[in-house]
Amino acid sequence: MAFKTTGYNHRVMKRRTFIGAVGTSGVAGVAGCLTRDGKDDAGERGDGDREPEDPDLQGELTVASYTSMVDGDNPAGTWLKDAFEAEYPDATLTWTVPSQGLNHYISREQQGASLDADLYLGLNVDDLVRIDDTLGEGGLFRELNVDRIDRSDRIRDSLDMADPHGRVLAYDTGYISLVYDETVVDAPETLDDLTEPAYGDALLAQNAQSSDPGRAFLLWTIDAYGEDGYLDYWRALGDNGIRILDDWTESYYGSYMNENRPMVVSYSTDQVYASAEGYDMSRHQVAFPDDQGYANPEGMGIFENAAELDLAYAFLDFALSSEAQGVIAQRNVQFPAVTSENVDLDEEFDRYAHEPPEAVTVGYETLRGKLDGWVEDWAREFASQ
C-alpha–C-alpha distance, residues 99 and 82, integer Å: 24
In sequence order, what are the beta bridge partners of 132? none
CATH of domain 175-294+372-382: 3.40.190.10
Residue among 187, 199, 181, 287 nearest 240 (CA): 199
CATH code 3.40.190.10 for 10-173+297-355? yes
pLDDT tens per residue, range 320-353: 999 999 999 989 999 999 998 999 888 888 889 9
Please give the Cα distance from 24 to 136 (Å, whole number): 18
Per-residue pLDDT at 349: 84
List Cβ neighbours of 267 (8 Å cut-off, separation of 6 or more).
Answer: 15, 174, 175, 176, 177, 179, 213, 333, 334
Give the residue from 24, 12, 17 showing the smallest Cα distance to 247. Answer: 17
Between CA 88 and CA 59 the distance in angstroms is 10
pTM of the entire structure?
A: 0.83
| pLDDT score, position 366 | 94
Q: Where are the beta strands (DSSP E) in the chain?
A: 59-64, 91-96, 119-123, 169-180, 203-206, 243-245, 263-267, 285-287, 292-302, 335-336, 358-360
pLDDT tens-digit map of 232-267: 999 999 999 999 999 999 999 999 999 999 999 999
Q: Measure the CA–CA gap between 335 and 109, rounded to whole angstroms.
A: 32
Beta bridge partners of 302: 119
Domain span(s) for CATH 3.40.190.10 in the chain:
10-173+297-355, 175-294+372-382
* pLDDT mean across residues, the chain: 88
Q: What ranges make up the beta strands (E) of 140-256?
A: 169-180, 203-206, 243-245
- pLDDT for 72: 85
Percent of the chain as helix, strand, coil, to the nearest 5: 40, 15, 40
pLDDT, tens digit (0-9, with 9 covering 90-100), for 32-44: 333 333 334 333 3
Give me the pLDDT at residue 48, please: 57
- Residue 245, SS3? strand
**pLDDT tens, residue by residue, 347-372:** 888 889 999 999 999 999 999 989 98
Note the pLDDT of residue 330. Answer: 87
The pLDDT averaged over each successive group of 10 residues in the chain (385 residues) is: 33 36 34 35 51 94 96 93 98 96 96 96 92 94 97 94 95 97 98 98 96 94 97 98 96 97 97 94 98 96 97 98 95 93 86 94 92 94 84
